[in-house]
Amino acid sequence: MIPCQVGPKLWSSIQETYHRAEKNKNSFKFDTKVEVLEDPHNRVDFVLRISTALKAKKTNISSSTTSTASTAPPKNPFLPPEPELLICQLGDQHNLILNKFNVVPYHVIITTTEFRSQEEPLHVADLKALWQVLEAFPGDAVGFYNCGQNSGRSQPHKHMQAVPLPFSAEFPSAGHLHRAVDRDSVEYGLPYNTPFAVQSLPYCCFAVKFKPGERPSPEALGQLFHRLRLRAAVSLHKSDSTRDCSSYNFLLTRRFMMLVPRRSEFAGPVALNSLQYAGTFFVRNEEELQYVKRTGPFSMLVQAGVDWPTAMQNAQVALKEMSEGDSEGKAEQETREAAKEVAGLRLKRLGMRKP
């Protein structure tokens, strides 16, 4: 197993493996055309990548395929990884591989070397590996983690992903998220590395803005991630401090981290994952294309996530349940503080501003 080198050498390894795999037909890039769709409500641009082999409807799985799938266990594409897709090993716990079926070039996947569940939260070692990969990209990039059954995950084996930014040459690098995080952090008057609710976005989400030019330690990333996850959990009314937030999308850039709780995998016919919350949709058929254009991206993100009034109500119920209990351990105290923060948000600010 080849150990990963950091910085520019790692980026060179990513490029070399990508071009070699593409040349030898070990990886495949979807043929798409790019459109920029302005959300009709918030006037924010989203990138649509539309399959050039657009079909009128989704193709149903045949009965023979269903029968085979029910008797044979699904193959784990990460254990072992295909040698042609393997870039290198990140420390003792992770492999860095190419996405075999990619929509954008240099889409990479960070997998655990042993099976771990995609319903687990990220640990310090996971965040360290993801940050190493983000630092290797010469420009902006976004890392993400689809956790839980409603997150749009594709595999049960724990894996994070990273893609370069921008999503298209004409599109800013996750521009609406940067603007929302920057503006809300200034309005709150918060110091760097402090979790807060990003209320200028219409769906419930929580973020941390990093100090420019400062590299957070893996331990700091782990602590901040934990604090975001607590806020997401009470927004879904999961007040038991021993339980994880069941489904969420996590985004990480060198400027901020963000966590979006999820209550549904789908908005209409379209399955959503972290990349849709980052600002880009991959449209596979005519039904999906028309639904996205008719409904609007932000309305879809709210459908699959949690709207702010519901998040506040859930946190209020969670807080009431905790107040009636008698547990006062550290975990319970942290959860109680997260519930207080979410329950106490000001409703009049919600969803009323252009991010």
| DSSP-based helix, strand, coil % in the chain, nearest 5 | 35, 25, 40
Q: Which residues have C-beta within 8 Å of that of residue 298, sequence separation ≥ 6?
A: 39, 41, 42, 44, 202, 203
Active site residue 159: yes
**Cis peptide bond upstream of 166, omega within 30:** yes
The type of residue at 299 is S
- CB-CB contact of 107 with 163 (8 Å): yes
Query: In 3D, which of 78, 143, 99, 100 has the Cα closest to residue 274?
Result: 143
- Would you tell me the crossing angle of helices 218-235 and 308-324 to the nearest 10 degrees? 90
> Which token pair is 50?
């539309």
DSSP per residue, 269-289: TEE--HHHHHTEEEEEEHHHH
Instruction: Check 159, 178, 226, 237 and give the catalytic one.
Output: 159
Which residues are the active-site residues?
Answer: 159
